[in-house]
Structure 1
């Protein structure tokens, strides 16, 4: 039995998470769900978007399954996701993007995994004003050899564990010679330990162009925090959007799995939200927990339903009258 902290989230979160939990429970995996709150719903009840009880639950379970959260504007944390990553040192953000035969896009051969360093660089928000008038601001991008080494090691080990052939490091070391140079040089050193994996390096702007022109040349991509944030949304666009993309945040002894899209309050309660992304995050979670058979059953059922395009939400098939609950049930039935 695996203890998992369940955070349903805000907006469409509860509906897609209920559908995902039903599918996970039907997969055969033995999960003891410990429900906790975060985001706007938690703030309205407790006065904080990240209550101590939620943190205590994650402290105990070391695994969280999370729906989308609404980040408070002008109050609370800069980002609840960033706060959780910092608290549990979830240094690796993993975002796979793979083409779906049943989802029409410009490409049909995309299979890219973005591995993003999660704890350093510009995205962590080390910034301040330099003048009392607040007319000059400065952001600090801190990059260390240790953090660079562990994220590149993670990318190569991921490639080995998942039968991937190539790792591409994306950087801007041609201009940012100290921070990005340190990251790139560390990646080169790590790559020497994995001669069985092809190693490539691309300047970030050129990588974006190549990714749009010929995405099949990419396999596993490893990069720094801000670049990873941008690239992972780009790869999502190649395969049909954020509604299909899961996310995992992995640390040494803790992990968080989530949908990477927003809470979409405008469609909350309408039973039309696409649960695919968070269900795919559930597949990643089951793999992390060692529930490989249950994860494969779940994955095949999701792929069957999405690719058939019949029992899917309207964003995947405009002619569909199927809702979130009905799509979830179809995936449960596909596992039977």
Structure 2
């Protein structure tokens, strides 16, 4: 039995997480859920967006399954997601973007995995004003050889373990010669140890252009924190949007799985939210836990439902009257 910290989150979080839990439980996976709180819902209950009990649970289970969170203004937390990633050294953010037969987009055969460094770079939070008038601000981008090494090594191992053919490093070392230079140097050194994996390097702005013109040339992409944030949203747009994109945050001894979209307060309580992204994050979690059969059952079922396009939420089919709960029921039914 695998113990998992369950954080339902804010806004549409509880509704989509309820469907994800229902689907995972129906798959036969051996999961014991330990519910905890974070975000606005936690702040309202405990006057803190990240209660000690939540951290205690994650400390114990080392695996968390999380819905979208609302960052509470004025609490000292820049981002709860960033706080969790940094505390538990969840250094690899993995976001697969794959085309769905039932979702009409500009391309039919996109299959890209973004591996983003998750703890350093411009998101390190080292920023300050240089004058008392606060008219000049400075942010420091921290890139370390050790931080670069672990995420790039993860990307190459991921490629090998998942029968991927190529790893592309995206960088800006032509301008940022020290910080991006370290990242690129480590990527080249690591690639030499993986002769079975094709290696490519692209300057990030050119990579964006190539990704829009010919996304099929990309397979696994590894990059620094902010570039990965941008590129992963770009790849989401290629396959139908953030409502279809799962995310995993991987460390050496802990992992957090989530939908990467926001809490969507405008549709909260309306039974309209698409649960696909967080259910696919659940598939990633089950694979991480070694529940491969259950993961395959869910993946096959959700692909069937989305590709048929009948029992899906209106964002996937504007003619649909199906809601969050009914889509979850359809995925459970497809497993049967």
| Structure 1 position 124, deviation (Å) | 2.2
Contact 1:39 1:50 in 2 (8 A): yes
- In 2, the alpha carbon distance for the partners of 1:329 and 1:83 equals 34
Q: Which moved more, 1:68-77 or 1:228-237?
A: 68-77
Aligned pairs (5 A) from 1:1-336: 1-336=1-336
Q: What is the TM-score when the length of structure 1 is the normalising length?
A: 0.99
Runs of 4+ in 1 over 4 A off after TM superposition: none
| Structure 1 position 73, deviation (Å) | 1.9
- In 1, the alpha carbon distance for the partners of 2:127 and 2:76 equals 17
- In 2, the alpha carbon distance for the partners of 1:76 and 1:132 equals 21
| Structure 1 position 75, deviation (Å) | 2.2
Aligned residues between the structures: 336
After superposition, give the CA deviation of every residue in 1:119-175 in whole Å (9 maximum; x if it has no partner). Answer: 100022210111111111100001111111111100000000100000000000000
- In 2, the alpha carbon distance for the partners of 1:124 and 1:15 equals 32
Contact 2:71 2:78 in 1 (8 A): yes
For structure 1, list consecutive stretches of 5 or more residues without a partner in the other structure: none
- In 2, the alpha carbon distance for the partners of 1:19 and 1:281 equals 12
Q: What is the TM-score when the length of structure 2 is the normalising length?
A: 0.99
C-alpha RMSD of matched pairs (Å):
0.5
- In 2, the alpha carbon distance for the partners of 1:264 and 1:162 equals 33
For structure 2, list consecutive stretches of 5 or more residues without a partner in the other structure: none
| Structure 1 position 330, deviation (Å) | 0.3
Where 1:312 maps in the other structure, the secondary structure is coil
- In 2, the alpha carbon distance for the partners of 1:118 and 1:202 equals 20
- In 2, the alpha carbon distance for the partners of 1:327 and 1:124 equals 39
Contact 1:49 1:76 in 2 (8 A): no
Where 2:168 maps in the other structure, the secondary structure is strand
- In 2, the alpha carbon distance for the partners of 1:307 and 1:125 equals 41
